[in-house]
A and B are shown apart, each in its own frame.
Chain A
């Protein structure tokens, strides 16, 4: 009897060896583990076994059952593994195909840079102050110490409106008057951002419209050394803490003393390259101490109060930082340009 059990194991194993896929495995399982399968039959036959051998028979039959079951499980696992592997193989993609990109919104490069600038001045205690773009000639020039026919008016090519005495502001400086009149006689620290206009030919280097940021501090103890320190702090925050600045004497009617502020070139650090036209320096700001006449026009007493002011062009900073060489790109808003920022 036990011989028949012996053949049972080898027969089951042999048949299982021939099973090639999961479907055949299911038939094999039916044939061997079904209700009338070989294993059930073998177990049922225990009644026919002499009592003395039953125990041994039973143990052996169960062992065979377990062994075949284990072989089945291993086979099943290997079929599943293989099927998964086949699937994975089929599922391989050309990993170099382009990804599906979300379409994000972006801010205009001028906005991005303007924010950086205002952020830095914000931390230095300067708040933004919004002013008008269509401005009175008197505020844009006259109150800034440029009476009619002042030669310095030639420094700004002006758009005039058809309404006499009203122009498009040529700089953010008229905002100084509005800000001072709001704050005087109290202390004032503001930045005036906004669009300015110049009557010019549009070329790769000049535009009729650009953003300027003007800074203004007025108080009882505001000195030229503070101007220097504030601008140094600003430039080091924006362009890196290794930057140096240089002040050159200059002229603006609304400041005295007046100066141009250069920083050492961000590409060559002063050695001379094409960006700084071999000079080692980049012109970055105009600045000075607020002219007593302007202080007076803003409502302050120049004997007790002093102030400093400075101005810079936002697009010029973007161009410096990005290596752009055509200022017309800003208002053309070509999507291929904008998506690079």
Chain B
């Protein structure tokens, strides 16, 4: 809402601008910007000014009257106007303005004297320049006649301002044309402030003062030029429809003051009819519409014009003012005559009955419409307008009357017509003013402090509520019956709405600050959140950088990891209104989005190494019904060098699958689980991964293998597609599954004080035998005596038969209670060797 302060000042005395802006801001009318028109803005408000303009000094920029215009002796292009500028002397000037001519006289112009600072008329960009005495083609010149551009009024460069009305010469321009436009963001519950009157009432409540509202009682005369009736189909969607006829108007441009008000409010002047409806809407908040009554009569072949507010019928078409054919649907509210729709109620008029330069008889509409209907129609037809904005915020039925009278009066006085006798109106159901009961206990309950009854009454009075005491006690408690003014449609809930008004006007800054009383016992707890924090800490401790990626992705990206997914998003939660194809679905894979980041960092951002993790959600569509699941996953992606290159010239090694596997194992250990209970099932068949370098991960817990996720090396083909050379390692682990196997307590084993004896064994087994299987057999055979087991070499070649491999292990024997004797170790070691021969078909090298 753009508020012209010169206009507002006619309704309510205003405090200094700085105070006004500060109070409006705190009271919920946030000032978005200030636009000075020739006025000076206090320094502290300068940041609010979008585009600074010239300040018209009262003694320097004044109205003047052209007395005559002489010819310049040497230049045809230049003219020498002589003006009266209120000092008694005749002032000669030099100008090249094309819109005055030698011999003319009597025009009202604006004169800038030496020292005025205005926009430089010789520059296309707006630069402020001080006017200095000069000579133009030999003739001294210390003043000039101003263009609209130089004054900062518009972009109009060509010619000087010829003001359409006579103003006494010497009158400061700022007194007539000067203004400050305050743009305020109107909150959804402050629809009443989408009008000058509403803002004036708010200012009165904040600063005091009486609002002077424009009242009109148009003089009526003569019959209606046509027979008109009005009615409505359903009084719940249109409570009131009022109309007046103005006959014999002459359509033409509006007077300067009216045009200026519209322009300041951001509306374009059109003609006196349309301008009056807009002005009254801006003034009172009630949108109006003007029909050409003769066109209506012609449509109805001179018969009765039966105007009806009704639901649109399927398939009806209305050509709106903008020339578009609109296909209407039931649910949209139309104004219709017997022939069909003539306007889209509260949204836009119809082209067929539009007022124009030839209009003489006008039918003026002022009505109430249901906010939701208007809002729906404006949205469906993509037709936001000043009218639909106000209707959709709610305009009370009572407002229709005064607005109609005011507009009829203005049209008749500006357009020279007569207001036909009588209002034709339908208003079948009139609501009683609503009442709300407000008690001191509730006020204190919400605000935390008591508010004395006198204070409450004065605040509510200022806001036009009427208040009656219905109960009071000596202890200061009270009960009030509050009657709402009609325009307070925002008061829906009742007493809390009023309490908000009390707090708002009292000022939140006057409330004390306290802390909640007591602690509460029934804590919900959030072990999941605690666990996620721990996982993030551990992952970072393992040298992984956390990333947070878009949860909006595309099927193509997820298909990097799960190629089986439907390419069109049928397996995803898909967006109905995506911002781009790359963000069209909710991701199913966290690893895939982390992979995208790693790729960008390695390829475009010059990262030597990427060791990333994300703890985020995957989003899985539900079955038939129910809620989608949003499981938390830990995704890890490693690629690049094991570390950044150093100046020692040694090339750091490339990260490989076992870096990732080791990270996972260490992570599991850090959680208090036992990495040796992890199972890596190489039967995993994810086509996106290297066929020989991937596994499903599970954890052995309570005798069962619980699936946790997968890890592997990206298929070289996929890596190549991404433009990555070298291995790309990815893992994804489901955190809910991991939480299930998490130990509730951690059992710490003692540390032996006795020495460890190391024995090696080289085990020759078939290639197909997994190292893990061998390790399990060693552990099983050695039992408690095995303090440490380490694989230290894998050998294939001379001495080992084709198709077999030699795994060399170092076994550390140790007991908790004694130093082991050689013969005990020999015995245990022999058991290990025997078991390996028996269980995995091993040959022991060197035996």
* A associates with B: yes
A→B interface (CB under 8 Å)? 97-98, 100-108, 110-111, 115, 124-125, 127-130, 132-134, 149, 151-152, 154-155, 159-163, 166, 168, 179, 182-183, 186-190, 195, 197, 199-202, 208-209, 217, 219, 221-226, 228-230, 232-233, 246-251, 253, 256-259, 272, 277-279, 289, 291-293, 306, 330-336, 338-339
Q: Knowing that A149-B375, A160-B575, A187-B522 are A-B contacts, what are 8 other residue pairs whose CB atoms are under 8 Å apart, sorted by A's residue number?
A: A103-B609, A105-B545, A108-B546, A110-B548, A111-B546, A134-B619, A166-B573, A334-B605
Residue in chain B with minimal CB distance to A100: B646
Pair B543/A222 contact, Cβ less than 8 Å: no
* B231 vs chain A, min Cβ distance (A): 26
Instruction: Kindly list chain B residues whose C-beta atoms are within 8 Å of the C-beta of A115.
Output: 533
Task: Evaluate whether A335 and B543 lie within 8 angstroms (CB atoms) in the complex, with A183-B522, A217-B516 already known.
Answer: no
**Looking at the complex, which one of B27, B447, B514, B630 makes contact with A249 (CB distance below 8 Å)?**
B27
Instruction: Kindly list chain A residues whose C-beta atoms are within 8 Å of the C-beta of B448.
Output: 223-226
Task: Evaluate whether A226 and B541 lie within 8 angstroms (CB atoms) in the complex, with A162-B574, A251-B28 already known.
Answer: no
Q: Tell whether B37 is near chain A: CB-to-CB under 8 Å.
A: no
Task: Evaluate whether A105 and B189 lie within 8 angstroms (CB atoms) in the complex, with A249-B508, A335-B610 already known.
Answer: no
A126 to B578, CA, bound (A): 35
Q: Tell whether B310 is near chain A: CB-to-CB under 8 Å.
A: no
Pair B575/A256 contact, Cβ less than 8 Å: no
Instruction: Kindly list chain A residues whose C-beta atoms are within 8 Å of the C-beta of B504.
Output: 249, 257
Pair B533/A333 contact, Cβ less than 8 Å: no
**Looking at the complex, which one of A195, A219, A272, A293 makes contact with B520 (CB distance below 8 Å)?**
A219
Task: Evaluate whether A162 and B503 lie within 8 angstroms (CB atoms) in the complex, with A98-B647, A107-B546 already known.
Answer: no
**Looking at the complex, which one of B25, B520, B548 makes contact with A333 (CB distance below 8 Å)?**
B548
Instruction: Kindly list chain B residues whose C-beta atoms are within 8 Å of the C-beta of A338.
Output: 545-547
A183 to B523, CA, bound (A): 9
Tell me which residues from 107 to 124 in chain B have a Cβ below 8 Å from any Cβ of chain A: none
Instruction: Kindly list chain B residues whose C-beta atoms are within 8 Å of the C-beta of A331.
Output: 548-550
Q: Interface 1/0s, chain B 426-469, versus A by CB < 8 A?
A: 00000000000000000001111100000000000000000000
A336 to B608, CA, bound (A): 11
A160 to B192, CA, bound (A): 32
The segment from B96-104, B257-265, B493-501, B716-724 that touches chain A is B493-501
Decide if the interface of chain A is mainly helix, strand, loop or mixed. Answer: mixed
Pair A225/B513 contact, Cβ less than 8 Å: yes
Pair B628/A208 contact, Cβ less than 8 Å: no
Q: Tell whether B511 is near chain A: CB-to-CB under 8 Å.
A: yes
Instruction: Kindly list chain A residues whose C-beta atoms are within 8 Å of the C-beta of B52.
Output: none
Tell me which residues from 586 to 624 in chain B have a Cβ below 8 Å from any Cβ of chain A: 586, 597, 600-601, 605, 607, 609-613, 617, 619, 621
Instruction: Kindly list chain A residues whose C-beta atoms are within 8 Å of the C-beta of B524.
Output: 127, 129, 179, 182-183, 190
Residue in chain A with minimal CB distance to B544: A105
Pair B601/A159 contact, Cβ less than 8 Å: no
Pair A160/B576 contact, Cβ less than 8 Å: yes
Instruction: Kindly list chain A residues whose C-beta atoms are within 8 Å of the C-beta of B519.
Output: 125
Pair A225/B573 contact, Cβ less than 8 Å: no
Pair B619/A248 contact, Cβ less than 8 Å: no
Instruction: Kindly list chain B residues whose C-beta atoms are within 8 Å of the C-beta of A104.
Output: 540, 543
A332 to B646, CA, bound (A): 27
Q: Interface 1/0s, chain B 540-561, versus A by CB < 8 A?
A: 1111111111111000000000
Tell me which residues from 556 to 587 in chain B have a Cβ below 8 Å from any Cβ of chain A: 573-579, 583, 586
A151 to B187, CA, bound (A): 10
Pair B552/A162 contact, Cβ less than 8 Å: no
* B544 vs chain A, min Cβ distance (A): 4
* B567 vs chain A, min Cβ distance (A): 16
Q: Tell whether B529 is near chain A: CB-to-CB under 8 Å.
A: yes
**Looking at the complex, which one of A179, A272, A292, A334 makes contact with B601 (CB distance below 8 Å)?**
A334
Pair B503/A111 contact, Cβ less than 8 Å: no
**Looking at the complex, which one of A163, A179, A230 makes contact with B516 (CB distance below 8 Å)?**
A230
Pair B516/A133 contact, Cβ less than 8 Å: no
Task: Evaluate whether A333 and B601 lie within 8 angstroms (CB atoms) in the complex, with A115-B533, A201-B579 already known.
Answer: yes
Pair A292/B445 contact, Cβ less than 8 Å: no
Pair A108/B547 contact, Cβ less than 8 Å: yes
Pair B445/A306 contact, Cβ less than 8 Å: yes
Pair A162/B576 contact, Cβ less than 8 Å: yes
- The contact sample of 25 A-B pairs, CB cut-off 8 A, is A103-B611, A105-B611, A108-B547, A115-B533, A127-B524, A160-B575, A161-B586, A162-B574, A168-B586, A179-B524, A208-B552, A229-B512, A230-B515, A233-B515, A247-B508, A250-B28, A250-B187, A251-B28, A256-B496, A257-B446, A278-B47, A289-B446, A334-B601, A335-B607, A339-B545
